[in-house]
Structure 1
Amino acid sequence: MRGLAAPLTKLAVFALVTVLASYVLVTTITNAGYGESLGYRAQFSDVAGLVEGDEVRIAGVRVGQVTGIGLSDRTERPVAEVSLEVDAEVPLPTSVQATIRYRNLVGQRYVALTEGEGSAGATLAEGATIPLAQTRPALDLTTLFGGFQPLFQALSPQDVNRLSYEVIQVFQGEGGTVESLLGHVASLTSSLADKDAVIGSVIDNLTTVMGTVAARDEQLSSLVVSLQQFVSGLAQDRDAIFDSLQTIDGLAVSTAGLLEDARAPLAADVEQLGSLAGNLADSGDVLEEFLQLAPSKIDLITRTAVNGSWFNFYLCGASGSVTLPGSAEPSTVPAGGLSSGARGC
């Protein structure tokens, strides 16, 4: 028995140390606290990434942990409700502010408690709820990195790859710091600052254009409506327009053939018109006299044809001469005549 006492003592000491180390490790991993604690609830608009067991800190010192996460049944709209346990020795003011913050770059969170304004020394009762107005969710990294989108659009592919490499290195913990990252971002965006005047000029011009368009919004609206009506009318009459285009094509072919056939006679007519114009110019006096006498003659002819579409002619008298054989001078012989009372004589 004496020979076994020493090994058994060593085994017991080893087992005790192992249990104590395991207990410390488990309590460290699970953020388990010691001593008496008080329970509270806090309402948040977003608790993404927060899990049970995450720490509750005040000024960076751990004072409790998260014991539960769920939806509140005491609000009209869905709101997350987080159950907290805080050391009883740390009183919370009624104006306490609860904020979910990043614990590390891996994405772990913790709840930070800070004193607000207007507490006047009053402490928060056990089981009380920190309202939504006194809480803030964690920073959305998606929104943060979404803010780099305009920068990525303005940079060259090489600069984007360089910036992305620096971001990955920082968040993987493989090197670099946030300060170094911001320095690289500043160097990459310096080229954008040099184009500030050009960007400002473009914005000013766009402002002028938009102001002009806004001042004529009614005319622009009327133009758009009229254009829409015109296009709609064309769409409704597309069959008639198509048929008319075919008819116009046939007309063009016929007109081309007509002009081809009439080209030679038309040239001759134009040449004769030149001769006619020359003759009229040479007989100007005769033409002028004709134009002066034409009205009175036309008036007489019109009165002659007043009884119908014909003309009446009356023979009032006739005479002639006959040369007889053996006579030196012709003898006049009346051929006939009408009485003086005949119509028209």
Structure 2
Amino acid sequence: MHNTAAVVRRRLLGLLFFAIVIGFVAVTLMQYNKVFTPVVKVDLITDSAGNALPKNADVKVRGMLVGEVRSFEASGDQVHLHLAIKPEDAKLIPANATARLLPKTLFGERYVSLQIPESPKGTLSNGDTIYQDKSGNAVELSQMFDNLLPILQAVPPQDLASTLGAINQALTGRGEKIGHALDQLNTVVGRFDDQLPDIKADLQGLATFSQTYSKAAPDLVDALDNLRTTSGTVVSKQNDIKALMASITGTAASTSDLLQVNHDTIIQVAADLKDPLNVLAQASPAFGCTFKDFADVEKKAKSIVGYGNKYPGIRVSLEIVNPRGRYIPSQDEPRLFDTRIAKCYRTAQPGEKYPIPDGTLNDGSYQPPTRHPDPNAPTLFPPNPQYSLVPQVGYAGSQAEQKTLAGIYGAATGTAPQDVPGWTTLMAAPALRGNEVTVK
């Protein structure tokens, strides 16, 4: 009986020992898992990036550890993280805080970084829910790490270590030079800041310029296509072009020789043409109407001479007008007093008693009065552009000079002076004035 009680006691002591050991281990594990640590439980809702968080990941505020991630569960495109925040720190964290999931290092695990807003409201308490920071910078940073992770996983660590080692070796001892280069770069960029408005205006002008060329591109392409055709034509006709250039070269050489040999003569001819051209300039206001009247007279002359009739001939009616009177010595000698410039007059019509506008030629003789003054006769000074040089009064251009020149031309050509055309003496008078003429 005594032995049985001892055995039972030993067994109970053994069970108690195992219970104590198991309890100690359980309490140790629970203590390790911080079951007995008072915390403030908060839920964090994030996107799929929350799946990358390990269990017991750190929760920090401005770099200070304030809690950990106890567990997480996925729900569609979202992940619900269960955070355990220290009570003393939860009192300092506003209820409207947001969270970012950031890596500790380039290859390190992620942690939860709580962001304090500019306008904090309340404090965290059990059962509160916070959300992931959705601001532009946070989203871009998260996307950058998400995109960078596959690249880093694809790069072999030993190759990356070699590359980083080579970069470190290249930069070692060159800090001062790199700093100086960065200072110079900062100076250059600072100068660009002052020119940014001009650069912006230039870029805007370049955009307008590009749009203009974009609209003109079809026409430019057509022009280049036409140029291609022209170039093809030039290439096919290159032998003819060479021959043309050779002939032009020869012609230019001949012209140069001609001008070199006759340059004095050309200058003299140009000088001699000065006076005839002055005469033509004086008569130029009447050239247009004169040629027009010639054209009109040519049509009327056919009817005057009976063109197309069975018995052609000229039929005229003569009327006796006021006589000029007898010749009076020292009064009626031929003299040129007329200073009127050339002008256009209205053409007389058949049957009209048309007077001589402005009177007859003022040759020094007595002028009978006009019987039928014409109110439409032009004035002494016609409107512009009919003005011209006023002829000089004297021997030059007079009838005496024309008769003298007619005698000279008649003696030289064997023609009677009265048969020498009047325009010949008029054109040649400026060239012969002041020269001595010998007739053989």
* Normalised TM-score (structure 2): 0.40
Structure 1 or 2: more strand by fraction? 1
TM-score by length of 1: 0.49
